[in-house]
A and B are shown apart, each in its own frame.
Chain A
């Protein structure tokens, strides 16, 4: 180690510089969604908190120590702003922006478990990871989302390029393919997207949320990639053990065919589609009413649509549609039906056909789908026998979009794509709720061993010992106190769920041993110093 008498830009000087807390604050107003309270060690009574903050307004008081800091001018600016005299801002409320939230350590543990599982499934199917910037040139996103375009977050015009936050991960993917002239790619992308929707926190609908996308781009023999996408959805939803689920499948061309056969003009396509899409939440009666009263559809036409879109079933429904005298005359519909038939064959070979339902009411929001479309819903089986399983909401969706990349390519070259998106936010809420109901305790650290001492003046020994453990890759902690009490250390282990303790004191030093203690059973055994690491590793692998 070297002591240098110059500031180095990579290291923030360790001195009493307080955390960058807002200069004044109002206590969290009521219990708004973005103001979380957490059961944590060190929670202060409100008055005590206020006085602590009062002290922190004028440093020093060593509170935050930074490890890596990439721009020294920020460190500089921070100091400056803290040292300047400031005005009190009495109305400043601390919160996250509307529709967004922090994730506490407990929530992060749940999230990481779920994302690990999703990503490992994507990897098992040979997908490569990809990442794109949080914002795109505004013009990239224009005209890709139809009516939803007004929900895009724009960045302020600060004299440079006009930018917008990405609305999904599909359009950036298409941009990437066109930009790099990629003809074939199987990629996954886990990332946040942003939509200025009306947030409904209760239903897990936020403005900033995570998406897990898997897409296969390229010209291949028909329906094999499409089938793999559905197989992946099934693997993930089964693996997450969310209960029974159903994947509805339809095809844009079949919808087009139905509309043509029923006499609906192309100009009304999107409007009628969005009505039909509501059939999972509204009754046919209400949907029909909307189409006739609000969208100017003739009642007879609405009835004819009704005959079709209320149908759902397995591959036998596909056969039935082939027999439909009118639909089978429509070229679009025939293409769609043929592809669905092939799809069902492959899904049967994949062993997932019984989870799939050909549902003619599936219309899906986004404009860019061109072929098969699908949506997965969780079923909540009701208590009473004979009732329709309730629909709790969609947790994954996707489809084929063959025209999107062509919109980016300067020469309009198309790259056919099919993909899926897992709605992990909904899944997080469900899993979180489940864990709360069961009262499951979530550990927020992975610490395996706590280094303790019952005696005073043993800090040096603890530091030496813990470094040995860290160097052997063991996850270890110690208390940041020169002379901590043994009981305090024990309590800490119990609260944090740390399984093992190593205790060192005068006697142990003399004898050349360390006491290894199981926190749960409270059993202690003396281990020779040189065998300690091996013994710990053995115990950890056995548990």
Chain B
């Protein structure tokens, strides 16, 4: 046992020696980039040659030592996993994701948005001071001697940086990309450390509420198209809230913190929220009651009108501005109405249309030729990577993966100059002349395919 430990220690030390030598060589090369064999002094060449040989020798020693430890050395000792809070997207998940993005992107495009992309990390100072308390959730990159970098936390700050860098004032853009937050992940609720955001923003000075209305229209179009059930979009305005807090008697300094309590009303009861405001945040009970009278209201444009009549609220300049804008917003939203539907399809992970199969042995060449013809004609096709696959296996493969058609090559058919085209769903087969095959496949795949 002790012998083994000593041996392991030797391996470790030798490994470090090798790494050290390689590091030396690398930094020397960074300082003096390879000049491609020209203009180097003889001394430099000699030295370089010596270092190389040194490295080789030490590596050879290392390998010998490792070999002594036996075949178990070198096996990984870690657990196979993705980092905490992240996950792979399997083909099935990719197919779903692709469909959802298609809906979202086509909506953004329908509304005339351009698309941009930004790097996954920013200079640390670009992100500093933008996220308040959440700053501790930012992923930093290690200081490896260059600029200090951090992974982007959202897509808004990069957007602002992009606007400033390019001196833009007007742009309607969308950006779909992953962002990174060192949160406490709650996988079941879809809360990850690496996750997608699909942002749409309109930047610029315009006549009031038209862009705002379009944003809401987009939200409705997308949520309808995705068919995830009935939905509701709640709308408010910061100025109305502030005005309301003011007339209820909330001190200025407590605005933000009372706001975040009120925000919880969608998850907890009014009683609990009131307790938090009074008990934890030191709000006077009458003030809390006053707030309660307002915040428990909801309604349509009639509520806006009602609030405009409210004797106290209508005295507050901020609240009036907010209410005015909301009234205008509601007008525009009425003119916009609501949108659309989507198609339901069984989720396949590939889009292959035809499997090229053979009924007998020794037909690989023919399959290769035929599949190549299909690819060249833009048809999505596959074949099994076996020289002599059984027909049954090939048919089963189609059923498993949802491939709708099979082009079967057989000896008799070859002689007759035809290919058997089989529909996987109906199991019907028909002989098609070789020269007509491509057209027949294209004709069939343009019709709606029943994948059952």
Within 8 A of A (CB), among B362-397: 364-365, 368-369, 372, 375-376, 378-382, 385-387
Q: A65-B202, A463-B210 are in contact. List 14 more A-B contacts (CB 8 A).
A: A1-B333, A6-B295, A64-B201, A67-B201, A68-B197, A78-B130, A95-B123, A108-B116, A135-B194, A136-B83, A221-B386, A235-B376, A475-B109, A475-B110
Indicate which residue in A3, A73, A103, A471 contacts B304 across the interface (CB closer than 8 Å). A3
Q: How far is the CA of A154 from the CA of B161 in the complex (A)?
A: 24
Complex interface: stretch among A393-401, A432-440, A441-449:
A441-449
Within 8 A of B (CB), among A143-166: 147, 150, 153-158, 160-161, 163, 165
Contact A290 B37 (CB under 8 A): yes
For residue A30, CB closer than 8 A to chain B, the reply is: no
Complex interface: stretch among B135-143, B280-288, B425-433, B438-446:
B135-143
Most A-side CB within 10 Å, residue of B53, B84, B132, B180: B132
Shortest distance between the CB of A111 and any CB in chain B (Å): 8
For residue A384, CB closer than 8 A to chain B, the reply is: no
Residues of chain B within 8 A of A295, CB atoms compared? 49, 52
Within 8 A of B (CB), among A327-371: 346, 349-351
Contact B300 A129 (CB under 8 A): no
Q: How far is the CA of A52 from the CA of B205 in the complex (A)?
A: 11
Q: How far is the CA of A278 from the CA of B194 in the complex (A)?
A: 39
Question: Using a Cβ–Cβ cut-off of 8 Å, how many residues does chain B contribute to the interface with A?
Answer: 172
Q: How far is the CA of A476 from the CA of B107 in the complex (A)?
A: 11
Contact B350 A126 (CB under 8 A): yes
For residue B266, CB closer than 8 A to chain A, the reply is: yes
Nearest residue, chain A, Cβ from B323: A3
Contact B350 A128 (CB under 8 A): yes
Shortest distance between the CB of A180 and any CB in chain B (Å): 8
Residues of chain B within 8 A of A470, CB atoms compared? 110-111, 217, 221, 339
Nearest residue, chain A, Cβ from B52: A295
Contact A268 B56 (CB under 8 A): yes
For residue B340, CB closer than 8 A to chain A, the reply is: yes
Q: How far is the CA of A108 from the CA of B382 in the complex (A)?
A: 31
Task: From known contacts A125-B375, A196-B144, A221-B387, infer whether A161 and B83 are also in contact, taking CB-CB under 8 Å.
Answer: yes
- Chain B window 200-233, contacts with chain A (Cβ cutoff 8 Å), 1 for yes, 0 for no: 1111111110111101111101000000000011
Contact A2 B205 (CB under 8 A): no
Contact B144 A81 (CB under 8 A): no
Q: How far is the CA of A445 from the CA of B112 in the complex (A)?
A: 6
Contact B263 A105 (CB under 8 A): no
Contact B119 A76 (CB under 8 A): no
Contact B336 A467 (CB under 8 A): yes
Within 8 A of A (CB), among B158-178: 159-171, 173, 178
Q: List 22 A-B contacts (CB under 8 A).
A: A2-B234, A3-B234, A5-B240, A5-B296, A14-B329, A40-B168, A68-B219, A78-B130, A103-B117, A105-B173, A127-B350, A133-B82, A133-B83, A147-B26, A155-B151, A175-B80, A220-B386, A231-B375, A268-B56, A294-B49, A408-B76, A475-B112
Within 8 A of B (CB), among A26-45: 28, 35-38, 40-44
Residues of chain B within 8 A of A2, CB atoms compared? 232-235, 298-300
Residues of chain B within 8 A of A80, CB atoms compared? 132, 256
Contact B139 A158 (CB under 8 A): yes
Contact B161 A94 (CB under 8 A): yes
Indicate which residue in A21, A102, A178 contacts B160 across the interface (CB closer than 8 Å). A21
Within 8 A of B (CB), among A56-109: 61-68, 70-74, 76-81, 86, 89, 92, 94-98, 100-105, 108
